[in-house]
Amino acid sequence: MMNLDPQRLLQVVLTLPLFLFSLTVHEFAHAWTARRFGDPTAEEEGRLTLDPRVHIDPLGLLMFLLASLTGVGYGWARPVPVRLGNCRNPLSAMYWIALAGPLSNLFQALAGLVILILIGLLGVPVREGLEQGVAPLFAGPGLGFGEIMACVVGYYVTINLILMVFNLIPIPPLDGGRVVVSQAPYALARTLAQLEVAGPGLLLLLMVTGAVSWWFRWTYWPILDGLKLLFSALGLQ
């Protein structure tokens, strides 16, 4: 059910820039890697940039806003155009271009994690930011600058971990599907590649049936539990 509570609306508005920035870096990574492999298509179409305006898909943005109001953020950006025929070693190019997006989210999450640890070492509670995102900001007055930063950075870490894990689902047109296509034997790769057109519908089916939740249960949640153990080992609150 959609939550139109003013607090929830404000929370979505405040976190939207974090989502757009993370998604922009993700798409830029695809474009940059394609250029490194010899394909200038994305650069020629103005996509080799960190300007979010050229990467935003209006429908994907609308879906993120609507889905966020139901408690589950889900959206997408405009796919970066790639012509593998322009690339040196097309299969290797497909692998690294596809993997570049999730890797960019991993690096963003690691950068945020370092900041979060540094904030925690100053005595600021950081576990809530990692576990609850920006929700503590609305729990009541009295949060200091450090606590606010911990919430924002913690949410930035979880956004990027979610984007990484989601995009690694091994179904085209997601990045994980293209990684599998680039590495699979020809017959299997051809079959998987044919799912590209039906990919969005198949992905929706997997979400409805709970398969995506299963994927997150075995990927995202163990990562988050590992980070909590790391915080405990470092004595962070």
Domains held by the chain: number: 1
Share of the chain above pLDDT 70, in %: 90
Tell me which of 191 and 69 has the higher pLDDT: 191
How much is the mean pLDDT over the chain? 86
Residue 148 lies in a domain: yes
**What pLDDT does residue 11 have?**
74
Distance CA 169, CA 180 (A): 10
**What pLDDT does residue 135 have?**
75
Distance CA 225, CA 28 (A): 29
Beta bridge partners of 56: 77
Residue 178 lies in a domain: no
Residue 11 lies in a domain: yes
CA 138 to chain centre: 24
Count other C-beta atoms under 10 Å from residue 38's C-beta.
15
Distance CA 218, CA 214 (A): 6
Is position 27 annotated as part of the catalytic site?
Answer: yes
CB-based contacts of 223: which residues, under 8 Å, 6+ apart?
A: 161, 165
Residue 174 lies in a domain: no
Cis peptide before 79 (omega within 30 of 0): no
**What pLDDT does residue 60 have?**
77
Enumerate long-range contacts of 229-234, CB under 8 Å, 24 or more apart.
Answer: 231/117, 231/120, 231/126, 231/127, 231/130, 234/117, 234/120, 234/121
**What pLDDT does residue 5 have?**
65
Average pLDDT of span 56-85: 77
Residue 184 lies in a domain: no
Distance CA 49, CA 138 (A): 34
As given in the structure block, the two tokens for residue 153 are: 């950075």
Residue 86 lies in a domain: yes
Average pLDDT of span 25-53: 95
Check 27, 44, 128, 196 and give the catalytic one: 27
**What pLDDT does residue 44 have?**
95
As given in the structure block, the two tokens for residue 15 are: 């976190």
Residue 196 lies in a domain: no
pLDDT exceeds cutoff 60 at 2: no
**What pLDDT does residue 7 have?**
66
For 36, the domain range is 6-168+219-233
